[in-house]
Amino acid sequence: MEMQRMREKTDKMEENKAKRKLRVCVATCNRADYSKLAPIMFGIKANPDEFELEVVVLGSHLIDDYGNTFRMIEQDDFDIGSKLHTIVRGEDEAAMVESVGLALVKLPDVLHRLRPDILVIHGDRFDALALATAAALMNIRILHLEGGEVSGTIDDSIRHAISKLAHYHACCTRTAEQHLIAMCEDHTRILLAGCPSYDKLLAAHHRDDYMDIIRNWLGDNVKEHDYIVALQHPVTTDIKNSVKIYELMLDALISFNKKTLVLFPNIDAGSKEMVRVMRKKGVEQHPNFRAVKHVPFEQFIQLVCHAGAMIGNSSCGVREAGAFGTPVINLGSRQTGRETGENVLHVRDADTQNKIYHALELQFGKRYPCSKIYGDGNAVPRILKFLQTIDLDEPLQKTFCFPPVKEWDISQDIDHILETQSALAVDLGGTNLRVAIVSMRGKMVKKYTQANPKTYETRMELILKMCTEAVIDAVHLNCRILGVGVSTGGRVNPQEGVILHSTKLIQEWSSIDIRTPISDALHLPVWVDNDGNCAALAEKKFGHGKGVENFVTIITGTGIGGGIIQHNELIHGSTFCAAELGHIMVSLDGPECMCGSRGCIEAYASGMALQKEAKRLHDEELLEVDGMVDLKKAESVSAIHLINAARLGNRKAEAVLRTAGMALGVGIVNILHMVNPSLVILSGVLAAHYQAPVQQVIGQRALTSAQNIQVLTSDLEEPALLGAASMVLDYTTRRIY
């Protein structure tokens, strides 16, 4: 009894399953994909006991400029369940992206309401990508038509993306089937069906009234095989060139002087420019031309079948036209990779009118053997049978058939996993040449120092030697060097890696391409900037400037320099001399500066300026005070002695430092009034001494809105090296290099 009840239950389940209709939603986006989907829709509608059809219309179907082609769906007596206006006008790349986004916003409600068992999507349009994305995320099974094919534009990427989202595939050729299998798709879910449009065109192209159709579109005087059908679409990855080819095609057609039916391009980015070219040439008013937005597919078949030639880059030329033996001239790269019959003449590099004209001369009026590469007229019965075999109880999650991977290919080395990402930093100072391995967190893993040579040849030789040594050491230190950053004095073109003008402290160092020799020797990317900018970058990544959108760093050392960060970007200026802060003039008749001018901040507040004043006081025997170490030789006097003398009460030294602090403070006030940073960072050996005087001058002389800007001293010990490293380690802290 128990076995009998179980058998009855099983039979009942199978009976219910057999009675259940498969709810199929067909989504069509434009006139081209409807020509492929319509035969399937008719087949589904003709089997009401097996299927329940839902139709969703979106994309260019609903746009007047493209013929409002949804009406032909209604004329075919299909009930449209949903019309989604998803196209954002503009016919450029941004409009395509926005259209995908708009479709993704609208589709969930429709798919949730319809609840299809399977969604049928065709081809490689951006609208279809939105459909596939929405359905996959909503756990709706997808049947993708014409996957696995190769053309030559962004359509390839979209087509393959849809194939990866789809659960089932109905492809047109054996090659496409092999491509899908190579893409790791399950071969049991791939149907080699042929193109559905072939079912219609092979059955209907022998019509008795074909001349009536031709005359209706091209006039009473046109003859069979004595007119041209032109259909050219933009190539979204090369819009400028595709528009140029379109212009050359129209020029060639005008010169060829045959009746021509010109169809408007599709809605892809660039179509607006192509229509503009067509209207500029007066095609719509030309007696030999008829420009139309849409031709019903059944009539279009007749026009292509009996044409003297078809020209452009439409897939119809390399697919459907082959079934009639119509000669085709395929222009440009849009169909590169498509399987074609011998009726297609490719003009890949369509760069002259004469080349296109010559192709027309070669092809026009010829007839070729009919080709059935893309179908034999029986695609729809195969697809319907394939739909009936889909088991809705099997797991929805699709699986991929990856090729076997050798075990040793997937192993990893623990040393590689634990490797420290690092930069090689180089600092070219007036006295020393320094190289350091710097980790991602700013740790100096190892540092190398040598005296900076006086000549270019010996300096470059030493740089390469020290860098090579550091790279070798990095391997043993388990550091992975990502690139080289170079900090140097003077004016630098960071985009080219060229030192334009050096400071007087570094000889033979102007008009030097430092990037190329280092990159060639180490096979690493190289970034170059001056030491002031590098100090700002160091603060941005490792110091007080971290997280601050606008700030200024000022180096107070042998000279005065700095860098300006504005809106998180380093400012270089049009000739790369922005942030030459040491050469801001604070007096019209001040002391002479090394730049040749007078009254610069550097002439008052730099280490060299203070040393000069210290020597003057020493020569006048006004420097030493009680408590100071005896100074025997003037050559040994430095800025430090001046500072110590001031601390011990030397009024002359105090006056010099007061003037220096005032000059630096006034210069910084000028900076505050120009770029209005939220923070000033003083760096270098004199920073701590200048902090209080500068803050005081700001409080006294700056505008009220700038008086509360904080002045901090840097905590970084090696700003030049850290800044050089930051160019490598942190992309967000540098401009376009």
Q: Write out the catalytic residue numbers.
A: 531
Output the six-digit token pair for 626: 């009680």
In our burial notation (b when 16+ CB lie closer than 10 A, e otherwise), range 78-114 reads: beebbebebbbeebbeebbebbbebbbebbeebbeeb
Phi then psi dihedrals of residue 358, to 5 deg: -65, -40
Q: Which two tokens stand for residue 288?
A: 């030999």
Strands 679-683 and 551-556: parallel
Q: How many CB atoms lie within 10 A of CB 712?
A: 18
DSSP string, 677-720: -SEEEEESTTHHHHHHHHHHHHHHHS-GGGTT-EEEE---S-HH
HEC assignment per residue over 280-321: HCCHHHCCCEEEECCCCHHHHHHHHHCCCEEEECCHHHHCHH
Sign, Cα dihedral of 395, 396, 401, 407: negative
Binding-site annotation: residue ranges: 583, 593, 595, 600
Residue (of 431, 411, 581, 603) closest to 505 by Cα position: 431
Can you tell me the distance from the alpha carbon of 18 to that of 33, in angstroms, rounded to the nearest whole number?
31
Amino acid at 158: I
Rounded Cα distance, 661 and 694, in Å = 6
Instruction: Compute the CA torsion angle 231, 236, 238, 239 (nearest 10 deg).
Output: 70
Task: Give Cα 131 distance to the centre of its chain.
Answer: 24
The tokens for 377 are 């007229």
Cite the annotated binding site for Zn(2+) by residue number.
Answer: 583, 593, 595, 600
Q: How far is CA 310 from CA 231, 264, 293, in A?
A: 8, 14, 17
